Amino acid sequence: MATVQEACLLRDAGLRVPVSVLSPIPSAAAREVASRRLRPSLSCLAAARDLRRAARDLPGPVLAHVELDTGLGRYGWPLTPAGLDQLQQLAALDGLTVASVYTHLSGTSRAELAAQLALFEQGYAKVAAALGRRPRRHALASSALAAQLRHPATTQLVRPGALLYGLAPC
């Protein structure tokens, strides 16, 4: 889902399967995200800490996704020295489990997409090293699926989005 509100509507309707929220989680929504067992996207350490505090008294860890910024520039953990240092700190937080690492691709040409996927692979390797394990990874959304893009980073999960509604991707 795009927002916490959309994900909560699914929970209110009785859906109990994993529900991911792909936009940043506002601090004020951290408790609701944790208590409803939504799977938020994390793109900064502050959001991870807010979520951890909100879930402190809940059983089990909160499962979350880490978004890496590989060029879209909208959301995502920056692949800078400071950003990578923060990813190390994220790995040390109790009560959070990184379920997957992903990116949103912004390139339109095969060369741009290849460059972004190479950057994603480098960032993913650093996240996996910090965590001491290799979480799932995903980079394909509607436009890349429609283009039939193939890459090892794209084979574990997909985000079909608009394609589910019969809409052509941009």
Question: pLDDT tens digits for 52-105?
Answer: 999 999 999 999 999 999 888 888 899 899 998 999 999 999 889 999 999 888
Rounded mean pLDDT of the chain?
A: 86
| pTM for the predicted model, two decimal places | 0.85
Q: Would you state the pLDDT for residue 72? A: 81
Instruction: Give the right CATH number for 4-165 from 3.40.50.1820, 3.30.70.3340, 3.40.50.2000, 3.20.20.10.
Output: 3.20.20.10
Helix/strand/coil (H/E/C) assignment for every residue in 49-116: HHHHHHCCCCCCCEEEEEEEECCCCCCCEECCHHHHHHHHHHHCCCCEEEEEEECCCCCCCHHHHHHH
Q: Residue 139: its pLDDT value, please?
A: 79
